[in-house]
Amino acid sequence: MNDAFEDNYDTFKALLDSFPPTEVVKRLEQFGISDDVIQRIQERHEAETIKIREMEEPQTVVLGNRDTWYTGPRPGDRCWPAVAALLRRDGWPQDPAIDSLDTSSTRIMSLLNHPRERSFSTRGLVVGYVQSGKTTNFTAVMAKAADRGYKLFIVLAGIHNGLRRQTQTRLVQQLVEPNPSRWSQLTDLDKDFTPTANAAAFFGKANKTHVLCVVKKNATVLRKLAKWLDSAAAYLQDCPALIIDDEADQATVATKSINPLIRRLLASLPKSAYVGYTASPFANLLIDPSAEDLYPEHFVVNLPKPHGHFGTEVLFGRYALDGEDPEDVDDGYDMIREVPKEDIECLRPLKRADVEDFVPEITETLQDAIDYFWLSTAARRVRGMGNRHATMLIHTSVNTAVHNSFKAPLERLRARLKASLNELSTLERLRALWDKETGRVPAEEFRETKVEFDDLVGELPEVLNDCRIIMDNSSSDDRLDYENGPIVAIAVGGNTLSRGLTLEGLSVSFFVRAVSAYDTLLQMGRWFGYRNGYADLPRIWMTAELREWFRHLATVETEMRRDIDVYMTEDKDPLTFAVRLRTHPALRVTAAAKMRDAVKAASSYGGQRVQTRYFRTDKDWLLQNQRAAMKLVSGASQHAVRREDRPEDGRYVFRDVSYDDVIDFLQNYQFHPKSQECNSRLLIGYIEKRANNAGSLRRWNIAIVGNPVTSDEENFEFAPGISVGRITRARLITPESDYADIKTLMSRRDAAIDLAGETSKLQEKEITDERRGQLPDTGLLVLYPIDKVSQPSPAKKTRTALGAADHVIGVGLVFPLPEGEDSAVVDYVSADLSGIEIEEEDFSAVEAEDFV
């Protein structure tokens, strides 16, 4: 009995929470518990009470599928309110911009550890959009972490000086300057990290400031920082640290120097939270989860798509996914212009030997792009609104010698146009180009007013005078500098312009750079971002092949983000479900070294177990689902090839039912829209695709799982003679009241209900393997009758009664892994989770009054 109390402390803790201590002792003594065990229980409870009081935060709040201590800013906070005030001053609207930032940064904070915990090591990943405000988001997270007591903040700001300086400037403006007495800086605008004499002085109890350090991902710099932190090891035991890895897929993953140094930094900090930020997370999602590495094992979060952001899908459209009608999928804006293949050899050398002597030719398409840039800049000046800068990007090669070769031809082109602006032929050519472009993309569709050619032509001379031709690369000293007044620039460059750095006022891009991987391609797209005041004017010139690649990439992103959202809405995390990435025959997902631990993954629902978790509680909705389940069972009882009745166990199985019955059920059953995986249209589309392409999933096993049959009042009748006892699934206590969240419906045992042999001890992967061997083409659908009251036991402090208007029908579906031709329709890769040991909650071991 003593062991029972030791093993189930949380259950018996309810007594200590509900009765005076003297009464609790009497009750425990009645169970025959020894005095020393009672003393240990009391001491443990007292310690936990003190811990909660010191943390000053609720410990059992459910927010977005996670129990958390952090639910948002408090009245006494200083850093986050200062950030919000600066954003309002810069013109950010409270709704939706600042409210959205507040919500998304609170979500990320809720996934971090409380700074007063004794020790922690968190690994997380935040996925944003290219040029979408990721820096602002992690600034908000840092501000909120500072308000709660995080001490050390290390920002790994890419690999180039330009991005490091830009990040340092932003953080100083938004964090340090509003509260200068609260911050100490280890880096400044002009120099990266330089060790100070006494590291311990920054972390001793006498120093109450937050410590900010913004460094490049450079081996020399990181080595100095790690050594400096080691010198203060004794003072870091109680130093909660937040490490932000900006552009987390660059240099961090699968590198021989940077990756070990980042892990060394984390190892020196007993209380550390590592959060990577990137818009191209492919490499991070494919890290081996079982290795001592930076796989985001604790969380992966999507940032919401910001209002007014030009992203991949907006510009290029995407392909329809399983279950989607292609007519309903956005085809993108008409802003992409094709560069013919025959132009390529004029714009970049085709062989390495030709690099040094290469002289580019200003092709017709390149001249159109440049002329349009000058016209659109003049039009923006007529409007007199939006971003004050105007930039054009020309990216044809990674080679700096090729970049530099464009300088003279572009200067000559600008000079010729200046000299011929009064010529009728020149004006007619420019007018025709402007009218053609503004006709293809009407300004009115973007709530703008078209600028007529006659109104903008007067601005052209000054635009040409102001325009600079800048070679921005690692071999030049010329740089895009937006800090010293408005600029007009045509920037020719490569890697220095491809990561993190914002090209202000970018309106025209000419892009024919050959790339080989998703992440490289996506990060080269500097045209993504915001175009306030000129949303109708951006244009991109590229080859048809590149355009198709970006369209494919938009499809990959959509599927990837859908998988990531599962973490916040389903009972899964990065160690139980690996995000799947669609492959392409001509492109790698990421560099080969970063994919060495990836494995082939099942497409869509293949090999997955999906289940309903969210339910509406109104009567009409619930009765509709009851009718759908009754119709399915009635048809299954008639059409099944074989039937297994076990009412004494609360189990029925109907074997080899036609997929037509399952599709009919999915058309009638109403899933809650909050469920990412349970979408009728997607499920039906996937089933039909496999059935039509490979003859798989044409047969299904239908199961009913309930309690043993008892009195009629406690049973649910699916069809005449087919009844089981209703089960209990209490709802989580959440801030939302318009739906019920039961968190988990289906046990591992239920997922194997139609398999032969002893299955009760099989792990998830073993069940998948058994199904592949026994029922490779057969799906499983399980129905659960859930009691409308579903009162939880007193020990379940985070749950309350389900409180539905009628009984609820839960649904679980198990899909076999596709094989052969079917699996080749679309290939996917993912991280390999086979080396991860996960203990799943087994309902048979949970208290009887809760789950049976």
Q: What is the pLDDT of residues 669-724, one digit of tens each?
A: 999 987 767 888 888 988 998 888 878 999 999 999 999 998 778 899 999 999 99
Strand runs labelled E in 525-661: 529-530, 539-542, 581-582, 599-601, 609-611, 614-615, 642-646, 651-658
- Is there a domain that residue 556 lies in? no
- Is there a domain that residue 19 lies in? yes
Same domain for 300 and 368, yes or no, is no
What's the pLDDT tens digit per position in 623-639?
999 999 999 999 999 98
CB 490 within 8 Å of CB 470: yes
Amino acid at 683: L
Same domain for 24 and 93, yes or no, is no
- Secondary structure (3-state) at 153: strand
Same domain for 400 and 494, yes or no, is yes
Which pTM does this prediction carry? Answer: 0.75
Count of alpha carbons within 13 angstroms of residue 671, beta-carbon side: 22
- Is there a domain that residue 597 lies in? no
Query: Among 12-16, 388-392, 588-592, 790-794, which stretch is predicted with the lowest mean pLDDT?
Result: 12-16
The DSSP annotation for 331-399 comes to: ---S-EEEPPGGGHHHHS-SSGGGSTT------HHHHHHHHHHHHHHHHHHHHT-S-S-EEEEEE--S-
What's the pLDDT tens digit per position in 332-384?
899 999 999 999 999 999 888 888 889 999 999 999 999 999 999 999 999 99
Same domain for 537 and 641, yes or no, is no
Q: In total, how many domains does the chain have?
A: 4
Residue 772: partners with Cβ closer than 8 Å, 6 or more residues away = 816, 817, 819
Residue 653's pLDDT is 97
Residue 315's pLDDT is 87
Name the nearest CA neighbour of 156 among 321, 332, 294.
294
Same domain for 82 and 48, yes or no, is no
Asked if the model's pLDDT at residue 479 lies above 80, the reply is no
Using the structure block, give the residue that is written with the tokens 């829209």: 673
Q: SS3 breakdown of the chain: % helix, strand, coil, rounded to 5? A: 40, 15, 40
Please report, for the domain that includes residue 117, its CATH number: 3.40.50.300
Same domain for 439 and 501, yes or no, is yes
> Exposed, middle or buried: residue 733 (CB in 10 Å: 0-12, 13-18, 19+)?
middle
Same domain for 766 and 814, yes or no, is yes
What phi and psi, each to the nearest 5 degrees, are found at residue 391? -130, 145
Residue 619's pLDDT is 95
Asked if the model's pLDDT at residue 49 lies above 90, the reply is no
Residue 497's pLDDT is 61
Residue 1's pLDDT is 42
Amino acid at 579: V
Same domain for 270 and 343, yes or no, is no
Output the six-digit token pair for 739: 């739906």
The two beta strands, 651-658 and 390-395, are unpaired
Number of helices (H), then strands (E), belonging to the chain: the values are 28, 32
Angstrom distance (rounded) from CA 498 to CA 396: 12
What phi and psi, each to the nearest 5 degrees, are found at residue 155? -110, 120
Question: Domain end: 253, 287, 307, which one?
Answer: 307
Query: Among 193-202, 608-617, 727-736, which stretch is predicted with the lowest mean pLDDT?
Result: 727-736
Range of the domain at 521: 313-550
Cα dist from 403 to 348, 369, 526, 587, 847, whole Å: 9, 17, 17, 25, 69
- Is there a domain that residue 27 lies in? yes
Asked if the model's pLDDT at residue 620 lies above 80, the reply is yes
CB 556 within 8 Å of CB 582: yes
Strand runs labelled E in 712-792: 715-719, 722-725, 731-732, 740-741, 778-786
What's the pLDDT tens digit per position in 221-260?
999 999 999 999 999 999 999 999 999 999 999 999 999 9
- Is there a domain that residue 73 lies in? no
Chain-wide mean pLDDT for the chain?
A: 86
Q: Please give the average per-residue pLDDT across 464-480, as a whole number.
A: 83
Output the six-digit token pair for 563: 């998988």
Residue 83: partners with Cβ closer than 8 Å, 6 or more residues away = 139, 140, 143, 174, 175, 178
Strand runs labelled E in 198-357: 210-215, 241-246, 271-278, 299-302, 309-310, 336-338
Same domain for 403 and 543, yes or no, is yes
Same domain for 619 and 752, yes or no, is yes
Question: Domain end: 510, 526, 550, which one?
Answer: 550
Please state, for a pLDDT cut of 90, what percent of the chain lies above it. 55
Residue 311's pLDDT is 83
Residue 313 pLDDT level (bands cut at 50, 70, 90): confident
Residue 499's pLDDT is 58
Same domain for 652 and 696, yes or no, is yes
CB 171 within 8 Å of CB 142: yes
Residue 788 pLDDT level (bands cut at 50, 70, 90): very high
Please state, for a pLDDT cut of 70, what percent of the chain lies above it. 88
Question: Domain end: 259, 281, 307, which one?
Answer: 307
Task: Give the helix ranges, DSSP H, for 31-98.
Answer: 35-55, 79-89
- Is there a domain that residue 242 lies in? yes
- Is there a domain that residue 70 lies in? no
Q: Please give the average per-residue pLDDT across 193-207, as a whole number.
A: 88
What phi and psi, each to the nearest 5 degrees, are found at residue 622? -70, -40
Same domain for 42 and 167, yes or no, is no
Q: Please give the average per-residue pLDDT across 495-505, as a whole number.
A: 67
- Is there a domain that residue 570 lies in? no
CB 494 within 8 Å of CB 399: yes
What's the pLDDT tens digit per position in 430-467?
999 999 999 999 999 999 999 999 999 999 999 999 99
- Secondary structure (3-state) at 156: strand
Strand runs labelled E in 626-769: 642-646, 651-658, 699-705, 715-719, 722-725, 731-732, 740-741
